[in-house]
Amino acid sequence: MTNGDVTPRSIHADRGTSMTSNTVTGLLALLGIDQSHSRPHVSNGNPYSEAHFKTLKYCPAFPGRFGSIEDANLFCAQFFAYYNREHRHSGIGMHTPATVHDGTAEVIQAHRTATLHAAFLAHPERFRGRRPHPPQLPTKVWTNQPPATL
């Protein structure tokens, strides 16, 4: 590296076409970045990390280009704070990662249940006679659920 940094750099990715293309591979080699890839035909990625990256990539505020590394760092710092503290995730019962992590999701879940119960009692016709429930918090999550063992 020309900036005097001798820290080894590497990137890990699945075997998607964008990360295995000659253009990207050549650029990474030119920059001195080693590549590692998941094993072929094995889906054992991190679903949370992949969802996070997709949300970042398709965020309407994501710029076509960053003016500098500082601009990219600032954008990502703001995005990660939003993603973890405000963005509700379908895979964790429409909670934020922060509330699941700090244990307040259960309290929020109880408030949601009470609110839906009150709405049902006030206007059951709106719910076709079925009591509504908030999405469940998962107890475990999987990319590929392992086979059950006896």
| pLDDT at res. 2 | 45
Domain that holds residue 17: 9-44
CA distance 54 to 48: 10
- The answer to whether residue 18 is domain-embedded is yes
- Looking at the domain assignment, is residue 150 inside a domain? no
Domains: count for the chain: 1
Question: Any idea which residue has 């964790």 for tokens?
Answer: 92
Q: 24 in a domain, yes or no?
A: yes
Q: What is the pLDDT of residues 118-145, one digit of tens each?
A: 999 999 999 998 999 999 888 876 666 6
Beta bridge partners of 12: 36
In whole angstroms, what is the distance from residue 113 CA to residue 101 CA? Answer: 20
3-class secondary structure, 93: coil
Burial pattern 105-122, b for ≥16 Cβ within 10 A else e, equals beebbeebeeeeeeebee
pTM of the model: 0.60
